[in-house]
Amino acid sequence: MSKIKNAFENKKAFIPFITCGDPDLETTKKIVKAAVDNGADLIELGIPFSDPTAEGPVIQGANLRALKGGVTTDKIFDLVRELRQDITIPMVFMTYANVVYSYGAEKFIKTCNEIGMDGIILPDLPYEEKEEFEDVCEKYDVDLISLIAPTSKNRIAMIAKEAKGFIYVVSSLGVTGMRTEIKTDLKSIVDIIKDNTDVPCAIGFGISTPEQAKKMADISDGAIVGSAIIKIIAEHGKEAAPFVGEYVKSMKDAIR
């Protein structure tokens, strides 16, 4: 049974995104723990990829720094094994279909199950092609998380009906990154989702301030933040953990 729903039980979820291995895996470990200690409800761990098409310059930079530092999928699996010794909240991987393919889809997803990962998000996997991974994910009890974007339009209901774990609602067109304002009519998207499923949905892409997080959590079940956190890590490097913790606390306080 999916543990992801625990992140949303009786509360709005705050979901930080962290690129594994930026600046190094030891720092990633400290950052994840700081985020959890300060109220994160679910952690999204990015597995770096050399061509992250959905990412803006901030997260692209983190991917490149991590890869330069020698991060591999196996090292990230080891990191999760260590984290799982004392972290119980749900965690999901965010990466690209290519990463999973090149590792071997079955081996990758089976390992996710063994190390305690609850789901995977593959932003470059079209809805029409998801069955390539879906059967294996079901076999190993790993949720394949669906994304719904403003362009999903008449497919929103269809995607929602089949969703597992939680639904990642993409707030704006384009790549990840901080935005001064989010103009998409997200409420109407969330309304269609709610009419078709009980699976919770959280909004990501472009959220960086507590005010934005509150606004997004008010219309959905939670807020996802990536670029703003990666910027803090880029600025503070190996000393970033307490700064990320402080930021996570401010965001969680805003959406309570």
pLDDT of residue 56: 74
Mean pLDDT confidence for 9-32: 97
Mean pLDDT confidence for 131-150: 95
State how far the Cα of 224 lies from the Cα of 42, in Å rounded to an integer.
9
Amino acid (one-letter) located at 112? C
Domains in the chain, number: 1
At residue 15's C-alpha, the angle toward residues 194 and 45, to 5°, is: 120
Token pair 């930021």 is found at: 247
User: Residue 62: inside a domain, yes or no?
Assistant: yes
User: Residue 64: inside a domain, yes or no?
Assistant: yes
Contact between residue 227 and residue 52 where contact means Cβ atoms under 8 Å apart? no
State how far the Cα of 123 lies from the Cα of 52, in Å rounded to an integer.
9
Confidence band, pLDDT 50/70/90 cuts, at residue 113: very high
User: Residue 194: inside a domain, yes or no?
Assistant: yes
Contact between residue 44 and residue 121 where contact means Cβ atoms under 8 Å apart? yes
Residue 91, pLDDT above cutoff 70: yes
User: Which DSSP string corresponds to 59-84?
Assistant: HHHHHHHHHHTT--HHHHHHHHHHHT
User: Residue 99: inside a domain, yes or no?
Assistant: yes
What does R_g of the chain's alpha carbons equal in angstroms? 17
CATH of the domain at 233: 3.20.20.70
Contact between residue 81 and residue 36 where contact means Cβ atoms under 8 Å apart? no
Residue 191, pLDDT above cutoff 60: yes
State how far the Cα of 82 lies from the Cα of 175, in Å rounded to an integer.
31
Residue 121, pLDDT above cutoff 50: yes
State how far the Cα of 99 lies from the Cα of 101, in Å rounded to an integer.
6
Amino acid (one-letter) located at 227? S
Segments forming the whole domain that contains residue 209: 12-255
User: Residue 213: inside a domain, yes or no?
Assistant: yes
User: Residue 4: inside a domain, yes or no?
Assistant: no
Mean predicted lDDT score pLDDT of the chain? 93
Confidence band, pLDDT 50/70/90 cuts, at residue 179: very low
User: Residue 1: inside a domain, yes or no?
Assistant: no
Amino acid (one-letter) located at 253? D
pLDDT of residue 150: 87
pLDDT of residue 151: 86
State how far the Cα of 139 lies from the Cα of 198, in Å rounded to an integer.
22
Backbone angles phi, psi at 193, to 5 degrees: -60, -50
User: Residue 7: inside a domain, yes or no?
Assistant: no
